[in-house]
A = this chain, B = another copy of it.
Amino acid sequence: MSKVKIDYSLYLVTDRKLLGERDLAQSIELAIQGGVSLVQLREKSISTKEFLNLALRVKEITSKYDIPLIINDRLDIALAVDAEGLHVGQDDLPMLKARELLGPDKIIGVSARTLEEALLAEKQGADYLGVGAVFRTSTKSDAKEVSLEQLEYIKKSVSIPVVAIGGINYGNIQQVKATGIDGISVVSAILVQDNIFMAAKQLKEIIG
């Protein structure tokens, strides 16, 4: 099987703790129906077994809609559920090790905050970059900010797709889009909204 072609335009990253009583797999389904084109399961403080069971349920949903599923950090979970890819941050497995273990056909995304990190990841074979945080964010309190100018500069300097992440919402998505990036990645802008379907739909209408 070769690598799937990815639509990075509206990339949902999960955080089950934002959902309160709502079910994560069901919430993801609503978000996909609203226009989410890619899903990253990013869960912390969870046992491997729970993560696996959650990933299996989410994989059923994403497969049903033919949406690629990317697992954050945990290559073991990505392998266990045969996810379409893995996203690694700078505290996770190194890009080259991830590629060695996953093979050429899986999508690997890398978080980058600087041009140096972006160029290195591209050179090492990353399929896309997650660049941010472009705005201050409550879901990842340690995230340093990357200016929109810096984001635009990184986008112009690499050939692989760039997804902007961090604090993006309905109010600021237009300015992020103006930098020329390939997609935006959101957590709260979809998952904390009362109407997840509509929240995704409204973002999708702007990002295209």
Collect the chain B residues with CB atoms within 8 Å of residue A80's CB.
75, 93, 97, 101
**Interface size grouping (class) on chain A:** 10 to 19
Q: Is there contact, CB below 8 Å, between A74 and B48?
A: yes
Question: Complex Cα distance A79/B48, Å?
Answer: 16
Question: Complex Cα distance A90/B92, Å?
Answer: 25
Contact of A75 among B47, B49, B79, B97 (CB under 8 A): B79
Q: How many copies does the complex hold?
A: 2
Task: With CB as the reference atom, state the residue of chain B lying closest to A77.
Answer: B76
With both chains docked as a complex, state the minimum distance between the C-beta of A37 and any C-beta of chain B, in angstroms.
27
Question: Complex Cα distance A97/B93, Å?
Answer: 21
Q: Is there contact, CB below 8 Å, between A91 and B52?
A: no
Q: Is there contact, CB below 8 Å, between A50 and B97?
A: no
Q: In this assembly, does A73 line the interface, its C-beta being within 8 Å of a C-beta of chain B?
A: yes
Within 8 A of B (CB), among A149-207: none
Q: In this assembly, does A104 line the interface, its C-beta being within 8 Å of a C-beta of chain B?
A: no
With both chains docked as a complex, state the minimum distance between the C-beta of A98 and any C-beta of chain B, in angstroms.
9
